[in-house]
Chain A
Amino acid sequence: MRVPVAVKVGAFSLVVMGTYTYYANSIPQIQSKPPAELSLEGGNVTPAQLVKAGEEIFKTKGTCEICHRIGQKGTRAPDLAGIGSRAAKTKPGLSAKQYIIESLLQPGAFVVEGYPNIMPQVDKPPIALNRSEVWALTAFLESLGGTVDVKLDDIPKTAGASAAGGGAPAELKLPGDPKAGEAIFSGKGGCIACHKAGKIGASPVGPDLSQIAKIQTPDYLMRKILDPAGAGTVSGFPKGVMPPMFGQTLTAKEYMDLVAFLMTLK
């Protein structure tokens, strides 16, 4: 039987594309997730917790490891081993803490000899660390051979002011009552059955909403409550689980209270 040319060419093309696809699926799979925001302001944090949080920022959101190494000389940026003690002697007139903070917020102010002036300001987009995160990162760097003595007040209040980027939604005053909304969350709404919200709830069925106001807009939340399927499902969670009847079961006031509560979760 003579195989038509179109079939042969089609099969050949599919084999070629299939090979590329198979290979692409065989190598390490790395996603780039939007960084979660850390908020420590007003909280009681021990130095050890602060250093741990700072280490995570160093390795993730801060993207420091792209250029810096600890205990290994880099070609783009200095080795940070011992920076906690070395920093006090690097720039005359600045303590270790002051030097580290200046390096993070104004990296061009003093550049270590032999390295290019390429470090971005960490509190500005695209890295965009907030004030708490700069605090934790400073603590972590101090811990590398030095004493952790940085306080939140040492970090300028202007740090991270434009962290979300110029296109971020403006602050909104919502008409609902957050306290009443919290009660809806735990009671009538039944949200607590699937979601965690700060200290409330612990169920892993749905996404953790503890910092939802940091990453979502009020209009998204309002739509998600009324039309869960239409607003999309967060990747990694099963579709169609969230009930679609809140528009019928909640009153208008309860609905607004719930949204106001969710918008306090930062």
Chain B
Amino acid sequence: MRRRAWTALAVVALLTLLPALPALAQDAAKEPAYRAFPLIGSRLAVWAVAQLHLNFAAFILGVPIFAVIIEIIGWRTGDARYDWLSHEFVKLTFAAFSTTALLGALLLFLFVAYYPKFWTYMTSIFFPTYWVYALLFFAETFTVYVWYYGWDWLSGPRKGIHVGLGVLSNLFGTAILLVANSWVTFMISPAGIDESGALKGSVWAAINNFTWMPINIHRLIANIVFGGTIAAAYAAFRFLGAKTDEERARYDWMGYIGNFVALSAFIVLPFAGYYLGREIYAFNQTMGITMMGGFMSWLWIIQAILIGVLFIGSNYYLWLGMERIPGSERYRRYVPIMIGILAFGFMVWATPRSMVITLDEARAMGGTHHPVLGFLGVMSAKNTAVNMMILTTFLSFVLYRRANRISTKSWVATGMMIQWAALGLAAAVVVFYGVYGYFVESLVRIGFSVYQVLAVLAAIVVVMAIDIPMFRGARSTGTIRWGTIAPRSQYVLILLAVTFTWLMGLMGFARSGIRQHWHVYGVMRDNSVDAVTPAIGYAANMITTVTIAFFALVMFIFWLGGLGEKGRAGESGHAPTPVFAGGSDAGSTDESRGGRSPRRS
């Protein structure tokens, strides 16, 4: 009840504030360009609130996407565990909903109060979209409430309507993301304006700027990854504190699904990143070069390390998970090879182009580029490394998927041969263009990354297209022993969540920092005392501080949500826990799955 009141308050505050913006903007025209936020300054205040808001927003937009997919799986298969899991995921989202809205309102207050001229300018371009945003926000709030509270009411024959509500809330949520992205991408790559910065024609031209669609795609995928990692970390936390085997089994499974969702989306995230980078270059070469080769170049080394941790961590979790699957022993021999590829790829990706060295060392080495390692610091090597890491991670997943299954199809040998050939061919294409890239001009080389990406995606499609029919009705070598996974695996899930959250903060700094001393790049200059774009160390301190605050808030909100659930145990509105006694096999064959839990009444 209290949660509903908070959300309602936030929605009312936002709706009341939005129509008043033109009046505020007019007042702002008479006011100073900037005001100073007490103690920490305006920039840090906006930075902290914006990062927190985006963390929460990513979570509440990402989780419902896969929650509704899981609900559909449960609905179509009749397996109540999926319905329970979907409800658990939405419950997590729901608890964070009002916090997201309040942080959004706070961010708006900060802009209006401390950057009035900037906000006046943005309003002069985007005012029509404010109404769209407010209406979408209202529609999403309403739909999510009905979706969550109507879980039991819209069950049984009305389940289709309930699933429809879930889909609808996702459509509204995604539309909100698109509107908000138009504001932030206009600041990076303004469009639809004349030399004085005034809107020339329709607001659509300003919305549909160079980076809008790439960031829409990149954020949508990243939100799913983020939601998956946070949900998995929540499950890990509950696993580690579980009192019974049944509880441990349940949260082991939840953690696996969360990580599976995160990993599936994470594999395609680098491709969305390429698209975004290409559009930044297309908008402004100087901006692109500053981002990758200018004062921000070292940021990408840190990004490489974080992504390396995510890849290695995800794979390690899968390998640990295979320990609880009878029959997986036959795939252990592949693990050392995969470790080797991942480790080597990690080292290549984290190799800087220019070394930090003394003048004497530079003279001895013949420059700031190492004669051997320097070759690993360029994009040809890095693209090759990341594509090989993606292929390896995909292979880990395929092996996990078939760990306790033996295909009974007559064409299994041919199918396996085609699968290995597809993976081998993709690896060959990736390596060939990686090496060939050293012998061509940069403009040609940039185009090679497209071939590498297409080869990897094609291999994934081919392997899965064969794998699914090949293992349909497969013979089981035993059921998955949910809950028996090593506890250290749960720390891997927490590592992934913390790393991805930190990475989001870092990428937020990159996105904002490439504007340098411009509020709106090339249009509205930052004349404040904070016009300096800080160095990476300063940014890291800030990112860590906000990330700690985010996790503290998340823990608090989940704890509050848990209190509410304890008080209503057994009542309607909460999915009864399906039985996991002895561990059942969510990912295994139909015949081994057995023992479906009864549907909720």
Contact = CB atoms under 8 A, between A and B. Distances in A.
Do A and B interact? yes
Interface in B542-595: 543-544, 547-548, 551, 555
B195 A167 contact: no
A2 to B, nearest CB: 11
A23 B494 CA distance: 20
B531 A34 contact: yes
Interface stretch (A50-58, A179-187, A211-219): A211-219
A198 interface: no
B519 A20 contact: no
B306 A20 contact: yes
B241 A34 contact: no
A245 B268 CA distance: 59
B35 to A, nearest CB: 8
Contact of A118 (B285, B520, B523): B285
Contact of B356 (A27, A31, A126): A27
A246 B34 CA distance: 20
Nearest to B524: A167
Given A27-B356, A66-B294, A167-B121, A21 B544 contact: yes
Contacts of A232: 34, 36, 41-42, 528-530
Interface stretch (B393-401, B474-482, B533-541): B533-541
B525 A167 contact: yes
Given A21-B544, A232-B528, A27 B301 contact: yes
Contacts, number: 184
Instruction: Place the interface of chain B in its size category.
Output: 35 or more
B502 A20 contact: yes
Contact of A76 (B287, B442, B519, B535): B442
Interface in B249-297: 284-287, 289-290, 293-295
A152 B570 CA distance: 84
Contacts of B498: 13, 16-17
A25 interface: yes
Contacts of A1: none
Contacts of A21: 540-541, 543-544
Contact of B286 (A20, A27, A127, A162): A127
A67 B527 contact: no
A151 interface: no
Interface stretch (B76-84, B178-186, B510-518): B510-518
Interface stretch (A4-12, A81-89, A95-103): A4-12
B527 A30 contact: no
Given A66-B293, A125-B523, A33 B285 contact: no
Contacts of B471: none
A21 B540 CA distance: 5
List the 10 closest pairs (A to B, CB-CB), nearest first: A167-B524, A166-B197, A24-B540, A125-B522, A29-B535, A34-B517, A25-B537, A32-B533, A232-B36, A232-B529
Contacts of B294: 32, 63, 66
Contact of B544 (A18, A27, A217): A18
Nearest to A34: B517
A9 B356 CA distance: 35
A147 interface: no
A168 interface: yes
Interface in A214-249: 215-217, 219-220, 223, 229-235
Contact of B527 (A162, A215, A231, A234): A215
A166 B544 contact: no
Interface string A117-129: 0111000111110
Interface string A123-147: 0111110000000000000000000
Contact of B302 (A23, A67, A116, A120): A23
A9 B240 contact: yes
A12 B196 contact: no
Contacts of B417: none
Contacts of A193: none
Contacts of B34: 220, 231-232
Given A20-B306, A216-B527, A220-B32, 19 more contacts: A13-B494, A16-B499, A20-B544, A27-B298, A27-B536, A29-B536, A32-B295, A75-B441, A116-B443, A118-B285, A120-B284, A125-B521, A127-B286, A162-B195, A167-B519, A167-B525, A169-B527, A232-B42, A235-B529
B286 A63 contact: yes
A14 interface: yes
Contacts of A34: 516-517, 525-526, 531-532
A165 interface: yes
A195 to B, nearest CB: 15
Contact of B240 (A5, A76, A166, A216): A5
17 contacts: A9-B491, A14-B548, A23-B302, A24-B540, A25-B540, A33-B517, A33-B531, A34-B532, A66-B293, A126-B284, A126-B521, A166-B198, A167-B519, A167-B525, A217-B33, A232-B34, A233-B529
A66 to B, nearest CB: 5
B541 A25 contact: yes
B151 interface: no
Interface string A19-53: 01101110111111111000000000000000000
B237 interface: yes
A104 interface: no
A18 B502 CA distance: 11
Given A5-B241, A216-B527, A232-B36, A75 B442 contact: yes
A99 B539 CA distance: 43
A63 B290 contact: yes
Contacts of A32: 294-295, 513, 516-517, 532-533
Contacts of A29: 535-538
